[in-house]
Amino acid sequence: MNILLIGPPGAGKGTQAAFITKKLNIPHISTGDMLRAAIAAGSPLGLKARSIMEQGALVSDEIVIALVKERLKQTDCNHGFLFDGFPRTIAQADALEKAQVLLDLVIEIAVPDEVIVKRLSGRRFHLASGRSYHVLYNPPRIEGCDDVTREPLIQREDDHEETIRKRLSVYQVQTEPLRHYYKKLAQAARLQYMTVDGLREINDIKNDIMLALTKIERSV
């Protein structure tokens, strides 16, 4: 099954992606993670992407499409995959159609902007381990320090409030049109489209998605 998770930054796509990929045993393709890995590796692509990402803008369609096309060549994608954060523009979605990479299911996680700002601006990370915290919802035992190593926590550059607001407006302008794009494909019975309320508990959202997946699997 080829699935797309769509929703604003901070909607909880990464969290639900982990559940879905485990259940279906398919790879999680997150262009944000791939770009961050390129930055960490200091590759030419990483150097190009870094300042764009720090500003909350979108990396060019050309770069991201090439990155995803390369990734899809790997054999672990043969039996399906989960896209998270891609496509993010109509041009990226069109590129998929052109390459005949067809989606079976689009899952939209809906969360209002103000909730997103609260969620993202409170996130903190321990760089070496990837452990994540939230100043309100999941605070570390000692403020600003990782629970295990006591090393300092960092805030992602693009999680600063001003940048979050920029990312939200980029989402509204560039990515929201994709909702209509895929709803139209759903009307034409080309794929299934479901919207989940991202304000509910993580487990409730997970259960809704798992139920939908089981139904779709049965109908295939």
Residues contributing to the site for ligand AMP (CB under 6 A)? 9, 31-32, 35, 52-53, 56-59, 64, 85-86, 88, 92, 158, 167
Is 141 known to be catalytic?
no
At its nearest, how many Å lie between ligand AMP and the CB of residue 214?
27
At its nearest, how many Å lie between ligand AMP and the CB of residue 200?
21
Is 183 known to be catalytic?
no
C-beta closer to ligand AMP: residue 95 or 205? 95
For residue 118, the Cα-to-chain-centroid distance in whole angstroms is 18
C-beta closer to ligand AMP: residue 6 or 26? 6
C-beta closer to ligand AMP: residue 149 or 172? 172
Q: Which of 13, 119, 124, 206 is catalytic?
A: 13
As a whole number of angstroms, the distance between CA 143 and CA 136 comes to 11
Q: Which of 119, 123, 124, 206 is catalytic?
A: 123
Is 98 known to be catalytic?
no
As a whole number of angstroms, the distance between CA 191 and CA 178 comes to 14
C-beta closer to ligand AMP: residue 36 or 183? 36
At its nearest, how many Å lie between ligand AMP and the CB of residue 219?
29
Longest Cα separation, the chain: 54
| Positions marked catalytic | 13, 88, 123, 156, 167
